[in-house]
């Protein structure tokens, strides 16, 4: 029986020859990841099991409120620290070593083709950029996985997305996924595995592929998988933990739906409030002023994103009525940005540079919006009140659009500055 990538991975992890969409299986997971917000309830459930955690398979990464912003967040971080110490957890990344959890998972070699990874965070689907099946779940399921190393899954149906041709200047992976979500809607891939193909996808650097897989959940997807290639294999050399076996779909695999896009039709795209499907070309929104420009998150906080923004900001200043916040995704990204002089470019432009944190993305801190404020953001969600006051507005865009908008004080297609 022919299978898609998701079906093959689940079949292998369930020790079955084949699986079919809708089938309920029990599969062995490679890793389970928890952050500071989802960790505390997972630890409370786990302690009731009177068991020992599978240490090598569990990864603990505080990132949502790092550093702690109040007593409640301090208690969350403390709970993770004590759990890690009690059980001598080897894969614990405390403050000073950590960063946004999904980027840490990739940087530290936990993610590799063919692996099945679960995380108590919805954007665990990011790992599909390396040919893994990554998917989010709740803290209770994460606790069970820590104890058993296995979990039940419903095999998802698969969709095939093909993007062919060459992308234009200032068009990134973020624009591809926003274009797709604008087409199919936020429920267009509900509980489905999205597989991405085509010459435009193959030409993308890994950073942009991660942006695409990261936002599969914003279309309702269970996973967002890109077939691994030499770019992935080279990235993993000297980095990956353990062995891995790449998985590819069969040539005659069955997909419930197929979509085809011409890369030349994709432009710098913005998702207007308050859903990622509410898209429009950045060039059509130049009348909309912004109070804040935010660059960072698990979607667009990598070194490649910072380089693109710095190129636009070099020699320019942030608009007087706009503030810009730059948040490298991890310590390693921060260090590399510092080495390359990118942080100085941001500082010279009057941007504020923070250490790694998820704070502003979820409306927690480090960039919360006031009533009636607008933010152009490289994050992944623009739900009502997502980054602050329920009467604030979030517009999603790629790093180039965010940087250009910071300079003009209004939503700006980067081509306008040339």
Cα–Cα distance for residue pair 176/162, rounded to 1 Å: 11
Same domain for 112 and 255, yes or no, is: yes
* Contact by Cβ (8 Å): 281, 179: no
pLDDT of residue 45: 97
Is the confidence at residue 416, as pLDDT, over 90?
Answer: yes
Q: What is the pLDDT of residue 95?
A: 93
Give the model confidence (pLDDT) of 358-413 as tens digits: 999 999 999 999 999 999 999 999 999 999 999 999 999 999 999 999 999 999 99
> 256 and 165 in one domain?
yes
Is the pLDDT score of 98 beyond 90?
Answer: no
- The order of strands in the sheet holding 116-119 is 58-61, 31-35, 116-119, 133-136
Whether 252 and 319 map to the same domain: the answer is no
Residues 28 and 166 in one domain: yes
Do 224 and 347 reside in the same domain of the chain? no
Looking at the fold, whether 251 and 278 belong to one and the same domain comes out as: no
* The last residue of a domain, from among 218, 238, 261: 261
| 138 shares its domain with 226 | yes
The tokens for 278 are 């509410």
The model's pLDDT over 287-296, given as tens digits with 9 standing for 90+, comes to 999 999 999 9
Domain boundary among 261, 292, 323: 261
> The domain spanning residue 410 has which CATH number?
3.30.499.10
Answer for the pair 331, 98: CB distance below 8 angstroms, yes or no.
yes
Give buried/exposed letters for 386-407 (b at 16+ CB in 10 A, else e).
bbbeeebbbbbbbbbbbbbbbb
Question: What pLDDT digit, counting tens, does each position of 126-168 carry?
Answer: 999 999 999 999 999 999 999 999 999 999 999 999 999 999 9
**Do 169 and 61 share a structural domain?**
yes
> Tokens for 318?
């942030």
The arithmetic mean of pLDDT across residues 209-229, rounded, is 98
pLDDT the model gives residue 295: 98
Host domain of residue 159:
5-261
Shared domain for 50 and 97, answered yes or no, is yes
Q: How far is CA 333 from CA 99, 329, 330, 355, in A?
A: 9, 6, 5, 10
Distance, in Å, from the CA atom of 388 to the CA atom of 418, rounded to the nearest integer, reads 33
pLDDT of residue 354: 97
Q: How many other C-beta atoms can be found within 10 angstroms of the C-beta atom of residue 134?
A: 31
What average pLDDT is seen over the chain?
98
Burial class (CB in 10 A: 0-12, 13-18, 19+), 412: buried
**pLDDT tier at 353 (50, 70, 90 boundaries)?**
very high
Q: Tell me if the bond preceding 67 is cis, omega within 30° of 0.
A: yes
Last residue of a domain, one of 261, 279, 304: 261
- pLDDT confidence of residue 234: 98
Based on the fold, state whether residues 381 and 240 are members of the same structural domain.
no
The yes-or-no verdict on residue 257 having pLDDT over 90 is yes
| Span 226-254, average pLDDT | 98
Q: Domain count for the chain, please give it.
A: 2
Q: Is the pLDDT of residue 1 over 90?
A: no
Shared domain check, 140 and 98:
yes
Same domain, 283 and 404: yes
């Amino acid at each position: 029986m022919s299978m898609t990538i998701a079906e093959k991975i689940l079949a292998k992890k369930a020790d079955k020859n084949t699986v079919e969409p809708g089938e309920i299986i029990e599969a062995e997971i490679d890793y389970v990841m928890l952050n500071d917000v989802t960790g505390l309830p997972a630890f409370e459930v786990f302690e009731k099991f009177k068991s020992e955690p599978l240490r090598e398979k569990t990864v603990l990464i505080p990132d949502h409120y790092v550093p702690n912003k109040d007593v409640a967040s301090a208690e969350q971080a403390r709970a993770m620290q004590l759990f890690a110490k009690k059980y001598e957890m080897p894969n614990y990344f405390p403050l000073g070593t950590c960063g946004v959890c999904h980027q840490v998972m990739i940087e530290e070699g936990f993610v590799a083709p063919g692996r099945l990874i679960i995380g108590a965070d919805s954007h665990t689907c990011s790992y599909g950029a390396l040919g893994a099946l990554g998917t989010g779940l709740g803290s209770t399921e994460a606790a069970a996985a820590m104890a058993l190393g296995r979990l039940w899954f419903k095999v998802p149906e698969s969709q095939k997305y093909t993007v062919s041709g060459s992308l234009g200047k200032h068009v990134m992976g973020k624009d591809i996924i926003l274009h797709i979500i604008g087409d199919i809607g936020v429920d267009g891939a509900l509980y489905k595995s999205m597989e991405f193909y085509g010459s435009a996808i193959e030409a993308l650097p890994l950073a942009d592929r991660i942006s695409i897989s990261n936002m599969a959940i914003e279309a309702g997807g269970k996973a967002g998988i890109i077939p691994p290639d030499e770019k992935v294999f080279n990235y993993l050399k000297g980095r990956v933990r353990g062995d891995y076996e790449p998985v590819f779909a069969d040539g005659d695999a069955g997909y419930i739906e197929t979509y085809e896009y011409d890369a030349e039709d994709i432009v710098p795209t913005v998702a207007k409030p308050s859903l990622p499907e509410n898209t429009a070309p950045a060039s059509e929104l130049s009348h909309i002023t912004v109070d804040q420009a935010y660059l960072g998150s698990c979607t667009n906080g990598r070194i490649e994103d910072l380089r693109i923004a710095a190129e636009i900001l070099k020699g320019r200043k942030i608009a007087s009525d706009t503030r810009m916040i730059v948040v490298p995704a991890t310590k390693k990204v921060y260090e590399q940005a510092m080495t390359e002089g990118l942080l100085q470019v941001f500082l010279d432009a009057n941007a504020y540079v923070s250490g790694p944190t998820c704070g502003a993305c979820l409306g927690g801190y480090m960039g919360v919006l006031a009533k009636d404020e607008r933010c152009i953001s490289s994050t992944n969600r623009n739900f009502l009140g997502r980054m602050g006051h329920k009467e604030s507005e979030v517009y999603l865009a790629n790093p180039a659009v965010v940087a250009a908008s910071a300079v003009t004080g209004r939503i700006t297609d980067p081509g306008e500055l040339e």
